[in-house]
Amino acid sequence: MSTFKTKDGTAIFYKDWGKGRPVVFSHGWPLSADAWDAQMLFLVQHGYRVIAHDRRGHGRSDQPGTGNDMDTYADDLAALVEHLDLRNATFVGHSTGGGEVAHYLGRHGTKRAAQAVLIGAVPPVMLKSDKNPGGLPIGVFDEIRANVAANRSQFYQDLAVPFYGYNRPNAKKSQGVIDAFWAQGMWGSHLGQYLCVKEFSEVDYTEDLKKIDVPTLVLHGDDDQIVPIDDSGKLTAQIVKNATLKIYPGGAHGMCTVEADKVNADLLEFLKQAS
C-alpha cells in the first residue's frame, strides 16, 4: 500500500493512479478513498492523474487518538500534496471532504490549485445558530454521536439508505452499495469517526470559502437528506467568488455513486476548462 507519514507520525494511505494533470479527492464521513472509485476509474481513463487518501482515523490510514480535527485534516492533505509535489491540481471534496478541501484552500492557499469542486459538501456550516438559522439543530448531531457510540455497525447500515436516497419511491436499491458503505465505515477508527462528527457539523468554513480564488464547481442534489442544499450548496455558491452551482433534481447525498455517470461527465467538462 502507498502511505506517507505526517509530521506527527501518522501514516496516511493514498491511491495514485495515472499520469497527467492531477485531480485530488477528499472523501465523506465515515467513508474512505474507495468512495471515489467510480470517478477515479473514469478520469484515469481520460488522461488524468487521480489521487485519493483515507483521512486519518478512516479507512486504511492510522487511527491516532489525536489530530481528529479539521485543522489537522487540512494539514494532512497539504502534506500529501507536498509529498507528491502536486501542482495545477483540481481538488474535489464530497460532504465532509468538501469541508476538508475548503479548509485546505483557506488555510494553505491556492498556489497548487487550478480548480475546486464541492459535491454535496458541508460548508459553509451545518449547525443551526443565530447566525445560521437555516442549519440543523445540535440534537441531530448529538443523535449521530449517540448512534456511533452505541452500535455504529447497525447505524451505518441504516444511514446508507437515506444517504443514497434508497428510501424514495421508485429508487433502485443496491445492497452492494449499502454493504460497501458499511464496510468502509467499519474499517475506520471508532474514536476518529466519533470526533469527526463535530468537524463536519460545527466548524464554520465561511472564511475559507471567501479565500478560494480559483474556479469552483458546486454540485448538489436538491433531495439531499444528509446535507440539505439550501443551507450548504446554495450558500457556498454565493460566497465563493468564481463559483458555478449545478443542482441535481431529486439528487441524493451519495450522488457520486448513484448518479456516477452524470457526476463524471460534469467533472470532465469542468476539468477541460483548466489550462
CA angle 194/3/214 to nearest 5° reads 75
Is 220 noted as a catalytic residue in this protein? no
Catalytic residue among 34, 208, 224, 231: 224
CA angle 47/27/168 to nearest 5° reads 105
> How many Cβ atoms sit within 10 Å of the Cβ of residue 207?
13
Catalytic residue among 27, 58, 103, 253: 253
> How many Cβ atoms sit within 10 Å of the Cβ of residue 121?
31
The three-state secondary structure class of 222 is: coil
CA angle 206/218/179 to nearest 5° reads 105
Is 224 noted as a catalytic residue in this protein? yes
CA distance 165 to 161: 6
**Best CA proximity match to 135, nearest among 200, 217, 70, 194:** 200
The three-state secondary structure class of 94 is: strand
Give the dihedral sign, CA 97/98/100/104: positive
Catalytic residue among 26, 32, 61, 95: 95
* Catalytic sites, residue numbers: 95, 224, 253
